[in-house]
Amino acid sequence: MRLSCLVLSQLIEFSDNLWNTWAMKKAIIVAYDRNRAIGRGGDLPWGRSLPADLAHFKQLTKGGGIIMGRRTFESIGSRPLLDRKNIVISSRLTGAEGVLTVMDLPSALALSHYSIFIIGGARVYADALETPEIDTIYATEIDASFPGADTFFPEIDMGIWQETSRVRHPADADNAYDFDFVIYKRVS
């Protein structure tokens, strides 16, 4: 009986460690065009013409947490995304219902005891790329360029990041542009 309890205890500890490894995932999720454009006038440069990307975003982030800057929060209608813990980095935003507001990325990450995704904007992405505990980028790379874009994803330093997966999605009746789902992992 004593051995069984010990084995059971070790199994519980092992599964708790596996859960915590998954639950503590900290990643960037982003969609950008050939020029790394992510925004135009407070919206996506491609509008809502890639529903497969929006579904991918929802699938990855649902049930976890998301960290965003104030302008990104305003671009989604100043309301929290459902089924996610919403954390907004801002010195100006106060009292927004359904969101936690913090001053900087380290403070946001300190609140995260679950899977967390950085969803923008440009400055938050730049800070996240320099944060060692962020170890994965889930990128949707759109095979198109959108004139008039005013917000861009920073250059990915391939000395720090390595592409580990790429899945091509050709344009179809629902999705106006060819795009790739790409995963980058931090290597240093």
- pLDDT, averaged in runs of 10, over the chain (188 residues): 44 42 78 98 95 96 94 91 93 82 93 88 97 97 98 97 98 98 96
What pLDDT score was predicted for residue 188? 82
**In this structure, what token pair is assigned to residue 104?**
């900087």
Tell me the C-alpha to C-alpha distance, in Å, between residue 83 and each of 56, 100, 125: 15, 14, 22
Domains and CATH numbers, the chain: 24-186 (3.40.430.10)
Give the closest residue to 135 by CA, choosing from 23, 27, 22: 27
DSSP strands (E only) in 33-104: 37-39, 65-69, 85-89, 99-102
What pLDDT score was predicted for residue 166? 98
What pLDDT score was predicted for residue 96? 79
What pLDDT score was predicted for residue 147? 96
DSSP, collapsed to helix, strand or coil, labels residue 151 as strand
What pLDDT score was predicted for residue 20? 41
pTM for this predicted structure: 0.85
What pLDDT score was predicted for residue 31? 98
What pLDDT score was predicted for residue 165? 97
What pLDDT score was predicted for residue 15? 42
